[in-house]
């Protein structure tokens, strides 16, 4: 897979991802609904060493579904979240798929946290559905 790149809305905060993401999918958790103002959020999970960031970010600390902290890094100018540290997983970062410069590079594999499916959203594809966090990344548990 070729390199992926992305940015916040104002392009101050930019990133590149080297290699294939660990997992791609849609998250239906309430935190993603609030963060995006939408029914769900496309995400990529990558290893820390795959991500290269330029620009300045501010941090917002929240608690994830695991009860462990998640630290969102957003642009200090436009507010777009560009990556999130999930303290429940070692060396894994989550990136909103909406920040990709070429959205066609997003290839979702699963829906996660479908127990929080809300806002009249209905899943109409054949991807796997998981009630909680993605099982595919449990091997990275901190």
Q: Using CB under 5 A, list all residues that contact Zn ion.
A: 8, 10, 12, 27, 29, 32, 75, 77-78
Q: Whose Cβ is closer to Zn ion: residue 84's or residue 105's?
A: 84
Q: What is the closest distance, in whole angstroms, from the C-beta atom of residue 80 to Zn ion in the complex? A: 5
Q: Whose Cβ is closer to Zn ion: residue 12's or residue 66's?
A: 12
Q: What is the closest distance, in whole angstroms, from the C-beta atom of residue 41 to Zn ion in the complex? A: 6
Q: What is the closest distance, in whole angstroms, from the C-beta atom of residue 113 to Zn ion in the complex? A: 6
Q: Whose Cβ is closer to Zn ion: residue 1's or residue 115's?
A: 115
Q: What is the closest distance, in whole angstroms, from the C-beta atom of residue 116 to Zn ion in the complex? A: 8
Q: Whose Cβ is closer to Zn ion: residue 1's or residue 78's?
A: 78
DSSP the chain: ---EEEE-TTSSSEEEE-S--SEEEEE--HHHHHHHTSS-EEEEEEEGGGEEEES-EEEEEEE-TTSSEEEEEEETTT--EEEEEETTBTTEEEEEGGGBSSGGG----EEE-GGG--TT----S-SEE-SSS-GGGGGGB-
């Amino acid at each position: 897979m070729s390199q992926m790149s992305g940015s916040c809305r104002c392009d101050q905060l930019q990133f590149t991802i080297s290699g294939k993401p660990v997992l791609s999918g849609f998250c239906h958790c309430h935190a993603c609904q609030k963060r995006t103002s939408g029914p769900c959020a496309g995400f990529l999970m990558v290893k820390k060493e795959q991500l290269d960031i330029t620009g300045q970010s501010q941090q917002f600390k929240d608690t994830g579904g695991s009860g462990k902290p998640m630290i969102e890094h957003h642009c200090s100018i436009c507010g777009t979240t560009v990556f999130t540290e999930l303290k429940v997983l070692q060396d894994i970062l989550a990136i909103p798929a909406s920040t990709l410069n070429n959205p066609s590079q997003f290839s979702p594999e699963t829906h996660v946290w479908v127990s929080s499916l809300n806002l009249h959203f209905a899943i109409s594809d054949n991807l796997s559905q998981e009630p909680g966090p993605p099982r595919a990344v449990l091997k990275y548990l901190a």
